[in-house]
Structure 1
Amino acid sequence: MLAPFGVERLPPIYGFGGAVLALTLSSYPYVLLSVRAALQRCDPAVEDAARSMGDTPWQVLWRILIPQVRPAIAIGALLAALYSLSDFGAVSLLQFETFTRSIYVQYRGSFDRSGAALLSLVLIGLTLGLIGLEQMISGRPSLSRTTCAVARPRRLADIGLWRWPAAGYAAVVTMLGVGMPVIALGYWLIRGLLNGQTLDTLWRPVMNSLIAAGGAAGVTVLAALPLAVLAARFPSRLSRMLDAAAYTGYTLPGIVVALALVFFGANYVPWLYQTLPMLMFGLAVRFLPQAVGSLRTTLQQINPRVEEAARSLGRKPLTVFAGVTLPLMLPGVFSAAALVFLTSIKELPTTLLLSPTGFPTLATVIWSATTEAMFTQAAAPALVLLAISATAMTVMLMHERVDH
């Protein structure tokens, strides 16, 4: 079919190029959601003041907006980098040798775990270096308004002819990240249905995935709130250490975290071993930094004088947090929950090792089918996984529009 165009064979997708493409398309939402939540908290009056002083739109972008969202950019980039370092499924399917794949092979193929432990330590060192770089780039600037007045709503900007390149760029990214997978999976699904494949067994993995990912999102956000408040409102050496330590679970490969929890559960809390709470706890350990980063950035953009004013009226700290701070944090809370949900529902190593017996999820069903090259059986659960992710994002965006 491609011969008339002079192309007889497409380049192979396996290896470094395919892994980079897959991980980029998988992880760019981390940056997108983090920066989007930060932009929604920026006061447009500051931009108007800069324009009234003679600044051009480009000057406003680089001198006003970029410094305000720099922590969100750094946090999103850090999450994307950590995700790429700890990814297991994509690099394994695309046959690219990484730390996580090597660790998995060491654990499965050898009785001596020292090689896997050494690789894990190197991976931890890389992650600590990334965390230190993020701390240097983002800093801890004050991102809130200098007054207690309520910021006016944002208005859409007319970018003129630039809207066509912008729309084209968004279309290309959407096509690569969503359109191409949907077309390929649709092709395999149709082939499977034509060959007699049924969808009767799909509902159980769907429900299991929703329960596990939804519970993990709730647990993770609740655990991240105190850490975010401590880092944003009470900066100290201890809070910085706790903030950095929160990223430890995310930096470790899922296989390492899961095996550690398997050892802990089997030896110390056997009544929790291979139960749903243990699976949720493992997912929360893995993805706690996603929630901490989003909530911390949101808190940094809320003027602490608003809380001080509420406490000066006699309200207790918990009442101020529940009645004043938390409502202002809702965009960040929903972004954090969405990130954890979307990542948890497709997490593979943790789910493989910590799931209760007879608890199939969409991720494990897809993995089992693809490892045996049965792509027609993997198409339906993969499409459902895409649909669930899109639905979660749509609900979050609709809620944010109502709030704004």
Structure 2
Amino acid sequence: MSTDLSASGTPAGSTTTAGKGKRPRPPFGVSTVSVLAILTALFSLLPLGYVVYMTAATGWDTAVELIFRPRVAELLLNTILLMVITVPACLVLGVGGAWLVERTKLRGHRWWAVALAAPLAIPAFVNSYSWVSAVPSLAGIWSGVLIATLSYFPLVYIPAAATLGRLDPAIEQSAASLGLGPWAVFFRVVLPQLRIAMSGGALLVALHLLAEYGAFAMIRFDTFTTAIMVQFQSTFNGTAGNMLASVLVFLCLILLLVEVRSRGTARYARIGSGAQAKATRMPLGLYQVPAQLALLALTVLAFGVPVWFVLRWIVAGGPDVWAADEFIPALLQTLMYGAVGALVTTIVAFPMAYLAVRRPSWFSKMLELSNYITSSLPGIVVGLAFVTVSIRVLPGVYQTTGVLIAAYVLLFLPRALVNLRAGLAQAPKELDEAAQSLGKAPLVSFFRVTLRLSAPAAAGGAALVFLAIVNELTATLLLSPNGTKTLATEFWSKSSEIDYTGAAPYALLMILLSAPMTYLLFQQSKKVAGQ
């Protein structure tokens, strides 16, 4: 028995709040949500404002003298070479691995799908520590490329695999029917459809290269981030360090513009009736063994080597390395900062996510953009901004837990924002309308309907923020209160003193905490691609 539906999708003859043309009242009022979102956006622009202010306060002549000097040219050359070599290498490994896993008859492809994402659970500075343990002479640009590539290629692999898994194979089948061979189909049909995934992954890799401190400091490879940290430690936020930060911010903004331009205007969504066909996996034939060996080698280098040397140092240190009075406080403080930071970040992200979904406009998009710009800045720039502002404006809050949590919020807000936005989109406003039409107050309908439906997405975003805080190093080093011990800072302290056995337990605990969050990120990317 069928039911007649009106154009709005409601049963004919029924009346709802929506049918009367009324919007549901927001739980806190539009003005309140807007004000909170504006305050968040203004707060998120603090690091960028700090860089602009310090550059202007330095004076044009002094700024030009400090920026256009041989040392800056050397750092710029190192940075450009690092990106020019590492980003293409990550693209080749990430896209190649994704194609093997998703589009070929690779034996054990389900296992390889997870194995290629696993290296993301290992912080880059832990990877560097392991490789220095294996080859103590590692130093320079090629060592940086090796460690960065093995650490960051999953940032390309995960979105590429998710996209390949959802591509409609009809176009590929049409191209093959016209006489194109497998390689021609890949380069002329499949690869262009990976454009967004590749550009986004490349941007993430490049931004990580600009922000990374520990991995490059350990192999004595100078970048802007390592140089800024040296300047801060020697002159405590001197003018030279501020000018290096301004160049670093300029590079980040250039990367954002390049990524936006690289997306193009083409659309890649499938439009039309009928179900999407299942992709036909290409047989590897004689290439089965080489493919297996290549993936095995990549997994061993990116995941096996770090885990092996961490375990080796733990065994070498014996039971003494697990002294409870040392690592338990670091573990507890890491869990505390991660949990509090994740909770606060998720709460702060809610007003902006609510506006983006329930009141979309150019204004809400601009508010979102402000957060993405700030999150692209390296942690050391955000840390320096908070150091300067807290000392000059609010000296009483310098090196307090509140300042450190605020820095975490700015650095990782988009991780919560993206998830919250997806969750709110799955809790349509019509459900609020229905609840309010039944006499429920706006706040009650919000908690009983919207919040309950968006809770899983919010929890996923909070988990990703937690993962980022666990592995964060530079901002924590700059802003943490005296006596603070986290897994990352204690690992860095001991490894800097060449106490590799003492650093190993902290490295292992970071990996164990990061592993389930990395798996969550991998699974979430699959779901997002399927929407």
Q: Residues 269-314 of structure 1, C-alpha deviation per residue, up to 9 Å, x if partnerless?
A: 5675544443232123223455667889x89xx9x9x979x69x98
* Partners of 1:88 and 1:349 within 8 A in 2: yes
Is residue 331–residue 400 contact of structure 1 (8 Å, CA) maintained in 2?
Answer: no
8 A Cα contact 1:71 1:138, kept in partner: yes
Structure 1 residue ranges without an equivalent (≥5): 1-8
Tell me if 1:125 matches 2:250.
Answer: yes
Contact (CA 8 Å) 1:50, 1:60: kept in 2 or not?
no
Aligned residue identity for 2:308: I
Q: Deviations over 1:62-87 (max 9, x none)?
A: 56654444223212211110111111
1:258 corresponds to 2:383: yes
Q: Which moved more, 1:105-114 or 1:242-251?
A: 242-251
Q: Please, which of 247, 268, 283 is the counterpart of residue 160 of structure 1? A: 283
Partner of 2:316 in structure 1?
Answer: 191
Aligned residue number for residue 42 of structure 2: none
Aligned to 2:213: 88
| Residue identity (%) | 33
Corresponding residue number in structure 1 for 2:403: 278
Give the TM-score normalised by the residue count of structure 2.
0.58
Decide whether aligned partners of structure 1 residues 114 and 363 sit closer, same or farther in structure 2, where only a CA change above 3 A counts.
same
**Greater displacement, 351-360 / 53-62:** 53-62
Give the residue type in structure 2 aligned to 1:17.
Answer: W
The structure whose Rg is larger is: 2
Deviation at 1:24, TM superposition (A): 2.0
2:66 matched residue in structure 1: none
Structure 2 distance, partners of 1:234, 1:81, is: 33
Instruction: Look up the equivalent residue of 2:473 and give its one-letter code.
Output: L
Residue pair 1:249, 1:288 contacting (<8 A) in 2 also: no
Q: Which residue of 2 aligns with 1:205?
A: 330
Q: In 2, Cα distance between the equivalents of 1:369 and 1:140?
A: 49
Matches for 1:224-263 after TM superposition, within 5 Å: 242=367, 244-263=369-388
Return the TM-score normalized by structure 1.
0.74
SS of residue in 2 equivalent to 1:53: helix
Q: Quote the offset at 1:395 in angstroms.
A: 4.8
1:4 aligned partner: none
Q: Return the offset for 1:190.
A: 1.5
Q: Distance in 1 between matches of 2:220 and 2:417?
A: 33
Q: Which residue does the alignment assign to 1:368?
A: 493
The residue type equivalent to 1:160 in the other structure is P
Cross-structure match for 2:516: 391
Q: Tell me how far apart the structure 1 counterparts of residues 187 and 499 of structure 2 sit (CA, whole Å).
A: 49
How far did residue 202 of structure 1 move? 1.8
CA RMSD of superposed structures (Å): 4.6
* CA drift at 1:370: 1.1
Counterpart for residue 23 of structure 1: 148
Match of 1:5 in 2: none
* Counterpart in the other structure of 1:3: none
Q: What is the letter of the counterpart of residue 72 of structure 1?
A: A
Q: Secondary structure at the match of 2:153?
A: helix
Alignment partner of 2:412: what SS?
A: helix
SS for the counterpart of 1:358 is: coil
Q: Residues 111 and 223 from structure 1, CA distance in 2 versus in 1: closer, same or farther, beyond 3 angstroms?
A: closer
Preserved CA contact (<8 Å) 1:28 1:80: yes
After TM superposition, give the deviation of residue 268 of structure 1 in Å: 4.9
Contact 1:274 / 1:355 at 8 angstroms: preserved in 2? yes
Q: Label 1:399 to 1:115 Cα distance change in 2 as closer, same or farther (>3 A).
A: closer
Which range moves more in the overlay, 279-288 or 162-171? 162-171
Partner amino acid, structure 2, of 1:114: T
Q: Deviations over 1:221-275 (max 9, x none)?
A: 5656776788899998766755554344344332331132234345555675544
- Secondary structure, aligned partner of 2:221: coil
Residue number in structure 2 paired with 1:50: 171
Counterpart CA distance in 1 for 2:225 and 2:521 is 32
The aligned amino acid for 2:378 is: P
Which of 217, 223, 227 is the equivalent residue of 1:102?
A: 227
The CA distance in 1 between the partners of 2:355 and 2:265, in whole Å, is 13
Work out whether residues 349 and 416 of structure 2, in 8 Å CA contact, stay in contact via their aligned partners in 1. yes
Partners in 1 of 2:454 and 2:171 — Cα distance? 25
Segments of structure 2 that go 5 or more residues without pairing to the other structure are 1-133, 437-442
Maintained 8 Å contact 2:464/2:521: no
> In structure 2, how many angstroms separate the alpha carbons of the residues matched to 1:245 and 1:217?
20
Higher mean C-alpha deviation, range 112-121 or range 50-59: 50-59
**How much has 1:109 moved relative to structure 2?**
1.2
Give, in whole Å, the separation in 2 of the partners of 1:80 and 1:122: 19
| 1:314–1:111 CA distance, 2 compared to 1 (3 A) | closer
Aligned to 2:239: 114
Q: CA 1:95 to 1:64, structure 2 compared with 1: closer, same or farther past 3 Å?
A: same
